[in-house]
């Protein structure tokens, strides 16, 4: 398995965390590209807004947002919005023009 952020992160001392990381590694790229597609279609969004647009649980989306930031595909848009679900303020992210070979 690839090391983070190219591969999913996991707790080094937990066999269940490693197993979960292995299972998600197959769908990780698909979810990441769906996140990018949502940003392209709807403009800057919070992770919760992206999850809502693509119909996935926030727990599947947040790690992909972190990975997309780490590889430079998205960045903080410099604004905050209140999440509908939690009521807490959240960072808004936006697309960065993607260069060939930039992702994963």
Task: Read off the pLDDT band of 75 (50, 70, 90).
Answer: very high
Where b means 16+ CB within 10 Å and e means fewer, 34-70 reads: bbbebbeeeebbbbbbbbbbbebebebbebbbebbbe
Secondary structure (3-state) at 80: strand
Q: Is the pTM of this model over 0.75?
A: no
Task: Read off the pLDDT band of 73 (50, 70, 90).
Answer: very high
The structural domains of the chain, ordered by start, are 15-95 (1.10.10.10)
Give 23-54 pLDDT, tens digit per residue.
655 588 899 999 999 999 999 999 999 999 99
d(CA 17, CA 9): 9
Q: Indicate if the pLDDT at residue 55 is higher than 60.
A: yes
Strands (DSSP E) contained in 30-88 are: 74-82
């Amino acid at each position: 398995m690839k090391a983070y952020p190219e591969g999913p992160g996991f707790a080094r001392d937990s066999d269940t965390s490693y197993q979960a990381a292995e299972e998600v590694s197959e769908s990780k790229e698909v979810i990441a590209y769906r996140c990018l597609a949502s940003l392209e279609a709807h403009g800057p969004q919070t992770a919760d807004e992206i999850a809502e647009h693509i119909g996935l649980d926030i727990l599947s989306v947040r790690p992909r947002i972190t990975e997309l930031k780490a590889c430079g595909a998205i960045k903080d848009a410099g604004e905050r919005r209140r999440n509908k679900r939690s009521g807490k303020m959240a960072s808004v992210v936006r697309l960065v023009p993607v260069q060939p070979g930039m992702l994963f």
